[in-house]
Chain A
Amino acid sequence: MTALLEIRGLKAEIDGRQILNGLDLSVNKGEIHAIMGPNGAGKSTLSYVLSGKPGYEITGGEVFFNGEDLLAMGSDERAAKGLFLAFQYPLEIPGVATLTFLRTALNAQRKKRGEEELSSPDVVKRVRELAKQLSIDPEMLKRPLNVGFSGGEKKRNETLQMALLEPKLCVLDETDSGLDIDALRIVADGVNRLRAADRGMIVITHYQRLLDYIVPDVVHVLAAGRIVKTGGKELALELEATGYAQYQSEAA
């Protein structure tokens, strides 16, 4: 069986600084992988490199998404193929209404996949249903994307986008940062509703707390740009108790 995501020996740098140092990772459909690690280990870089953010230079290795060369695709193409990055810091875009953005994104992806574009009323209907599940005020959808949204609202909005776009692989970058416990629960419930046999997830987090709500199948420790340890969900609890110090010295 082809892995959903197969990363082999991935090396990447930004501004001449090497961040990823030969990273290997394989994620199958239906699996949730947690990636934990100290600050500066390369967690966010991994998420950005996977989604094709400009500025990162790939200096080695390869990445296959459903057997296709991911690194050869533009960011928009990766999204259309089913890769979704939930941003740690969702951006504010003044002047672009949230609903317009959602409709444009959904239809751009459908068009790219050769599917029929959805009418505005159909998109509105689907968005409203999802907004209700995520306790998002429908009025918020008329406002410019993320402008003036609280941290929790932004993360809920990311989750809404993810649910609407129905990706094959979700990469959640520090989704718990800036969330109080109630917001965390709402977001985690949203994510859990998306768990499916044909969908994989990578949950990137510094803290174990999020994994109480989104329970992973596999936990990896990322340090100095490589996966240095892999285990079951109990590894997260272990890390919570011991911290990352041992891995930092190991990686160095």
Chain B
Amino acid sequence: MNAEIRPASTAAEIGLADLFASVRESLPGGRDTGVIRSDAFDRFAAHGLPHSRIEAWKYTDLRRLVRDAKPLAQRPDAHARSLGREAGAVFAGVGLRRLVIVDGAFAPELSDLAGLETGVVIRATIEALGAGELPLPLDMAGSDPAAELNTAFAADGVLIAVAPGVVVERPIHLVFVTTGGAPAATFTRSRVEVGSGAVLTLVETYEGPDQSDYQVNAALQVDVADGACLDRVKITGEGAAALHIATLEASIGASATYRDFGLTTGGAVVRNQLFLKLAGEGAIANVHQASLLSGRQHADTTLVAEHAAVGSQSREVFKAVVDEEARAVFQGKITVQPGAQQTDARMMARALLLSDEAVANCKPELEIFADDVQCGHGTTTGALDDKLKFYLMARGIPAKEAEALLIQAFVGEVIDAVAREDLRDALSRTMLAWLKGRE
């Protein structure tokens, strides 16, 4: 016998089991999908919520951080939909194509579906599931418990397909909003397929009320075909008490480019997990993530970049600004498969601690099974440089403003990685709003 010894189930685990039992029959999808959901939930239930002895969740102990399971969110009513109309305001005026997801449900009537470019198809996940046309398993995430829960419960989201060779000029904005009412859980599944040689920019924002401890579990699968290019920008700006877990799976084809920028400012507990596979020769992945945290926020970014083809290149830069009693976590793992020669991978994690109680945990890992590669990683953690602050103050800039300028400079490096100026400006505004909150 090799039984795993684990403590009694937590209230949240029992709640999730009860929830699954009560909703499984009503979740979208046919009989086969139902089996996939049940299997996923069983695999989750066998181990329960991840805790600090599970290496991939070492710093984010969900057994401790998640107190209870929430009921699934109701389909949005008229009031909820009206909130959806106002969401995503940080990109207002940028002219993005808005696709609005209210309380986990895609709301076409709030979305901008007019004048779709030829070769672009947008569909609700719930519809594809009903037609048995969306395979649910999240393969790259493996047996990750958050991913299993998503597979078990995911009901809606958005599917976007861009035909080969189509260059989509107008970025698509997935506006995720949780509305008021009793705290609830949403599980969304979205998928973006960028055909060979096609180009797309995808923006995602998440927001919700500060007073509700709602839960969001969002998964996005991305397929960037050979020679295609996808830019993704995600702002995790959830309400102050929210739990937000997002899983990204990206498969990147030969000579394709995937750029991912993430900015986390909201949520009580946030986990952004990214699983990248550089599957084709010469694939490129650039990942830039920034977290701006205060209060008792906990934000975890965990990244696995698998180099599976010759000559692929990845850059991962993570920056965290941590104030008060907040905690930033970065785990980054680069693996180079046998045969993935001439891999060029570099990872950097830097944390700026603004208070004595702030914490940053950084865990970079390299796992290399090829012999002709260039891989490196680095990590730094420190306070604001007093000498630089003095220099600014000696020119008349007050202390808080001097700090803000240095923080802007620190975060600016990752924001600069975003290709489009209009998106950079919006991200800078988000950063400045956060800095203003410190004053």
Contacts and interface: CB of A to CB of B under 8 A. Distances in A.
Contacts of A3: none
Chain B interface extent, by class: 20 to 34
Given A75-B390, A91-B388, A80 B396 contact: yes
B409 A94 contact: yes
Contacts of A51: 394
Specify the main secondary structure of chain A where it touches its partner.
Answer: helix
A74 B395 contact: no
A92 B398 CA distance: 19
Interface string A133-161: 00000000000100000000000000001
Given A76-B396, A79-B395, A112-B396, A54 B390 contact: yes
B408 A101 contact: no
Contact of B390 (A53, A95, A144): A53
Specify the main secondary structure of chain B where it touches its partner.
Answer: helix
Interface in B389-405: 390-399, 401-402, 405
Interface in A45-98: 51-54, 74-76, 78-80, 85, 87, 90-91, 93-96
B405 A108 contact: no
B395 A91 contact: no
Contacts of A87: 391, 394
B396 A93 contact: no
Contact of A108 (B388, B398, B406): B398
A109 interface: yes
Interface in B165-207: none
Of B393, B399, B405, B412, chain A has the most CB atoms within 10 Å of the CB of B393
B394 A96 contact: no
A223 B401 CA distance: 38
Given A54-B386, A93-B409, A96-B409, A79 B393 contact: yes
Contacts of A100: 405
A105 B396 CA distance: 6
A201 interface: no
Contacts of B391: 87, 90-91, 93
A85 B399 CA distance: 17
Nearest to B407: A95
A75 B393 contact: yes
A248 interface: no
A165 interface: yes
A104 interface: yes
B387 interface: yes
B387 to A, nearest CB: 6
The 5 tightest CB contacts between A and B, nearest first, are: A95-B409, A79-B396, A109-B396, A105-B395, A75-B393
Given A93-B391, A93-B409, 7 more contacts: A52-B394, A80-B396, A91-B387, A94-B409, A95-B413, A108-B397, A165-B396
